[in-house]
Every structure is written in C-alpha cells, then in structure tokens.
Amino acid sequence: AAGVTTTLYLRQRRTTARIHTAINNMTQGLCMWSPTAKLILRNETYVKMYGLAPELARPGSSLRSLIDHRIKVGSFTGNPDQYVADLVSENAKGKIVSAMREHAGRYIAIVNHPMPNGGWVATHEDITERRRAEERITHLAHYDALTDLPNRTLFHDQIKRELGHVAPDRQLAVLYIDIDEFKGVNDAL
C-alpha cells in the first residue's frame, strides 16, 4: 500500500510540474481568481506584463491589492473599487467579460471566463504590435506610402462626408491642383 501511495504521489508531482511548466511558458498572462477576487494562481507572464513583484502576486492576494500597487506605479487608471465590483458581478452572472486596457503605451486584451464555482480565469495578452500594424494598415489605406500625403481613397471619403452635410441652398468648393509630371517624380523617387 505504501508503494502505491508513493507512486501516486510521484505521478501527481510530475503532473503538477508539467502543468506549472506549461502555464509559465504561455505568451499570455494567466490568472485564476476566487469568487471573492483572491488570486488562486498566476503565471510569470502576468507578473512581468504588469511589473508586479512576485511576492506581491502570491496565491491569496486580493485583486484590489494588486490594483493598488498598479496605481502606485502608474499602470492603472480608473476607480479600483468600481472595477473590482463590476468584474466580480459580471463573472458571478456567468458572463465572459472582454476588455482592452492601455497600459504604459501598450494595449492589453483581457478576457475573463467565469468558473462554475463563481471565480474566473483571466487571460491577458499584449496586442500592441497587432494594434500598431492595424493602425499602420489603416493609415496606408488613406495616405501615400512615399509622400504621406492623403490619397484618392481619403479624398473620396471626405467628399462623400462633406456632400452629406451640404444643404440645398449651400455650396461646396473643391480646389484641384494638377502638378505637371508629379506621377513621374513620385514614381522615380
């Protein structure tokens, strides 16, 4: 019987070590919270993402205490009591809550998944590069890549918008300037 117990214990330790390794090698920050917003588990990515001291983000820590620390270091804005109350309330209703928060010039996508016991699992993903790429693509859709001047698409969009505001008794003027051989200069340079 002692051999079986030891074998089960060793299997459980190996399984726990594997889970720990997997969680700490995720690119997303991961937290599990109790129904009362106490930290059950978190990974290293979460700690690094928010610049938390590992000893501050230990199991049993309250979400409010972590937010208080983030307020001190300038990585949280807003009403912390309202934030925690809203989060606990929405998760208690069984709703998946998604949000995007700006943090120190970065964009963090947060998804909170309710658990049957009333707590929730939260994933935090730094989507800054994706967001910047989207902004760059949007910019390139409306501006020339070489000159950074507005392009035809933006011109058409603005004309449509302005035409929608013109009353029957009002006028709209468009000034068109044709620069000789600009296309050749633009293409060459």
Using one digit for the tens of pLDDT, what is the confidence trace for 116-175? 888 999 999 999 898 889 989 999 999 988 888 889 899 999 989 988 888 888 888 888
CA angle 61, 62, 67 (to 5 degrees): 110
In tens, the pLDDT along 12-38 reads 888 888 888 888 888 999 999 999 999
What is the percentage of the chain residues whose pLDDT exceeds 90? 33
- Residue 47 DSSP SS3: helix
- pLDDT of 1: 67
The pTM of the full predicted model, rounded to 2 decimals, is 0.71
- pLDDT of 81: 92
User: For residue 50, what pLDDT band results from cuts at 50, 70 and 90?
Assistant: confident
Residue 144: both structure tokens together: 């020339």
> Residues 88, 37: contact at Cβ < 8 Å?
yes
Distance in angstroms (rounded) separating the CA atoms of residues 121 and 140: 38
Distance in angstroms (rounded) separating the CA atoms of residues 49 and 103: 9
User: For residue 98, what pLDDT band results from cuts at 50, 70 and 90?
Assistant: confident
User: For residue 40, what pLDDT band results from cuts at 50, 70 and 90?
Assistant: very high
- pLDDT of 30: 95
Give the number of other CB atoms < 10 A from CB of residue 49. 19
Residue 103 in this model has a pLDDT that exceeds 70: no
- Residue 116 DSSP SS3: coil
Buried b (16+ CB within 10 A) or exposed e, 156-166: eeeeeeeeeee
Helix axes 80-92, 63-72, angle to 10 degrees: 150
Listed in sequence order, the residues at least 6 apart from 174 whose beta carbon sits closer than 8 Å to its beta carbon are 159
Displacement of CA 84 from its chain's centroid (Å): 18
